[in-house]
Amino acid sequence: MQVGIDQIGLFTPDKYVDMVDLANARKQDPNKFLVGIGQREMSVADITQDAVSMGINATLKFIDKIDKNKVGLLIFGTESSIDQSKSASLFVKTALKLKPEVRTFEVKEACFGLTAALMMARDFVRVHPEQTAIVIGSDIARYGVNTAGEVTQGAGSVAMLIKADPSILALNNGHSAYSEDINDFWRPNYSRTALVDGKYSTQVYLDFFKKTYTDYKKQKGLKTSDFDAITYHLPFTKMGMKANNIAIEGQDQATMIKLERSFAAAKQLSSRVGNIYTASLYMSLLSLLENGELPAGSLIGLFSYGSGAMAEFYSGKLVEGYEKQIDPTADQAMLDRRKKLTVKQYEDVFNTALLDPEDGLELTSDDEVGTWYFAGTKDHIRQYRVKE
């Protein structure tokens, strides 16, 4: 029995900053951001979009197409948690009207969170093939105004339905995992913005890629030329490009061209949305499916990296007819509908969202893309509402 990704939905809030504007404001050469980092735009979440509301909005992309009664597991991966105890997934479960018998919880290991959720969901469906699982990754990447990491911020969520006989990607057995207890990136409980040893983090990312990719190929008896595409966690697209360059180094011309083309397709969405931590790898996968024109049966490698640090390489095969489940025009329209902020507007929106609204204050949302939004707290309980 094959198990894998049957549905996939992306949500990003309706505001963005152009990287040329940001570079000019920070007195940097725009090519540093456009080419050196590889980002064109960056989505910005205002105070009414948090991990929960974005996760609901991503899942809404496919919820009407699935049998909700079959969903036996709902896992929410995030490092932008809204509560130290209660899982974000319980708010989502209520919004989506899933049955009370669903097993549901939140997981965390930096950007690896959604891969952890996906692997648990795959194993759950293998044991309960008549049931399905929803996994959600949802995050707001925040380093702070005028920091080195600022250009690598972003906001968004990816939700996926995991099921037997999937319609998009059948996951292959096996994986290669690697972890070390290090301090490349972290966010203490007292801080709304991440702390990072930026240059070190990029070295560790590449080091963990080499380890897991080499080990995976050895385990499975695969060569680089066997892959039709490799997708990467993309904190910024140049990071993935560096890993892809390692993968294709010394390969024949045809393999190099194939994997360069597929990477170019896979980075499109990230270059306009920015880092969405847990969901970033899966936004790359979606971007590849939307822009890559790959035939069914194509072998796709997936490299997941979460700071702290934990990495995993695994693979899947594209299923016949997968294109019917993908709607590139809808995602393009969502990005095109976003409002461009000036750098001053972005700074105000960003700094406001770092603060908790006064308890009892009802927030209204001007987000034109999201259906659900965070409406403030009442008696210190978070309120989520549907836009009128």
Query: x/- binding map, residues 270-289, to ligand HMG, per CB under 6 A?
Result: -----x-x------------
Got the DSSP string for 234-294? Answer: -SSHHHHHHHHHHHHTT--HHHHHHHHHHHHHHTHHHHHHB--GGGHHHHHHHHHHHHS-P
When asked if residue 198 is in the footprint of ligand HMG (CB under 6 A), the reply is yes
Phi and psi at residue 9, in whole multiples of 5°?
A: -135, 140
Query: Which residues, numbered 341-380, are part of the site for ligand HMG (CB under 6 A)?
Result: none
Active site residues: 79, 111, 233
144 or 328: whose CB is closer to ligand HMG?
144
Q: DSSP class of residue 63?
A: G
Buried b (16+ CB within 10 A) or exposed e, 83-92: eeeebbbbbb
Q: Residue 34 Cβ, how far from ligand HMG at the closest point, in Å?
A: 8
Based on its alpha-carbon atoms, the radius of gyration of the chain, rounded to whole angstroms, reads 20
Q: Give the list of residues 6+ apart from residue 27 with CB closer than 8 angstroms, or none.
A: none
Q: Residue 112 Cβ, how far from ligand HMG at the closest point, in Å?
A: 7
When asked if residue 202 is in the footprint of ligand HMG (CB under 6 A), the reply is yes
Phi and psi at residue 352, in whole multiples of 5°?
A: -65, -40
Residues 167, 176 contacting (CB under 8 angstroms): no
Query: x/- binding map, residues 51-90, to ligand HMG, per CB under 6 A?
Result: ----------------------------x-----------
264 or 299: whose CB is closer to ligand HMG?
264
When asked if residue 151 is in the footprint of ligand HMG (CB under 6 A), the reply is yes
Q: Residue 37 Cβ, how far from ligand HMG at the closest point, in Å?
A: 6
When asked if residue 36 is in the footprint of ligand HMG (CB under 6 A), the reply is yes
Query: Is 50 annotated as ligand-binding?
Result: no
The position carrying tokens 């990816």 is: 158
Q: Residue 95 Cβ, how far from ligand HMG at the closest point, in Å?
A: 25
Indicate which single residue of 11, 76, 205, 374 sits in contact with ligand HMG (rule: CB under 6 A). 205
Q: Is the peptide bond before 23 cis (omega within 30 degrees of 0)?
A: no
Single-letter code of the amino acid located at 116 = A
Taking CB under 6 A as the binding criterion, the range among 60-68, 89-97, 194-202, 359-367 that sits at the site for ligand HMG is 194-202
What's the angle, vertex CA 144, arms to CA 83 and CA 184, rounded to 5?
Answer: 80
Q: Residue 269 Cβ, how far from ligand HMG at the closest point, in Å?
A: 15
Got the DSSP string for 36-56? Answer: II--SEEEE--TT--HHHHHH
Indicate which single residue of 77, 306, 316, 370 sits in contact with ligand HMG (rule: CB under 6 A). 306
Query: x/- binding map, residues 213-242, to ligand HMG, per CB under 6 A?
Result: --------------------x-xx--x---
When asked if residue 117 is in the footprint of ligand HMG (CB under 6 A), the reply is no
151 or 294: whose CB is closer to ligand HMG?
151
Tally Cβ neighbours within 10 Å of residue 254: 9
Query: Is 282 annotated as ligand-binding?
Result: no
Number of separate helices (H) and strands (E) present in the chain: 12, 17
Query: Is 29 annotated as ligand-binding?
Result: yes
56 φψ region: left (φ > 0), alpha (ψ -120 to 50), beta (else): alpha
Rule CB under 6 A: which residues touch ligand HMG?
29, 31-32, 35-37, 79, 110-111, 148-149, 151-152, 184-185, 196, 198-199, 201-202, 205, 233, 235-236, 239, 275, 277, 305-307
- Which residues define the annotated binding site? 29, 143, 242, 275
